[in-house]
Amino acid sequence: MNQHSKGSRWTVAATALYVLWGLLHLGLGATMVLDGLAAAPPPDEAQAESLMFFWCAALLGAQAIAVALTMNRLNSRRGHWLNLLTLGVVDAAFLVVMVLPGHVDIIGGLSGPAIWLLAAIASTLALHRAPTTA
């Protein structure tokens, strides 16, 4: 097996994992936004902020999918850094603000960061083992 075929597998794995991360966040965010808006406009600041959080989760999920399908699948350095840094910062903040204080259960709270970590490893290995694009 040559280096290119090994790298291609890492590229495919990274793309799939970033798409999975995106689908998880897009689905959760959209579901919570639709549920939140179905009842009525948010009655207080805390519920409005919660709704905004889920809007952001959905948009970041869409961004992760778009970058994965247009850049990570081509083993793009820019795509690598976009999803690595953007989603990494989001997941780190989520862990500190939501998981550690106990607002989210530990299993559910670690699923996104675990997927991101695997995608980050796969995309880094792809960059080192296969031809890259800009």
The three-state (H, E, C) secondary structure of the chain, written as one string: CCHHHHHHHHHHHHHHHHHHHHHHHHHHHHHHHHHHHHHCCCCCHHHHHHHHHHHHHHHHHHHHHHHHHHCHHHCEHHHHHHHHHHHHHHHHHHHHHHHCCCCCCHHHHHHHHHHHHHHHHHHHHHHHHCCCEC
- Residue 6 φ then ψ, to 5°: -65, -45
Query: What's the predicted TM-score (pTM) here?
Result: 0.89
107 φ, ψ to 5°?
Answer: -65, -50
Q: Return the CA Rg of the chain.
A: 17
Work out the percent of the chain whose per-residue pLDDT is above 70: 95
pLDDT in tens, 59-98: 999 999 999 999 999 999 999 999 999 999 999 999 999 9
Q: What is the mean pLDDT of residues 25-48?
A: 88
Q: In whole angstroms, give the CA distance from residue 128 to residue 84.
A: 15
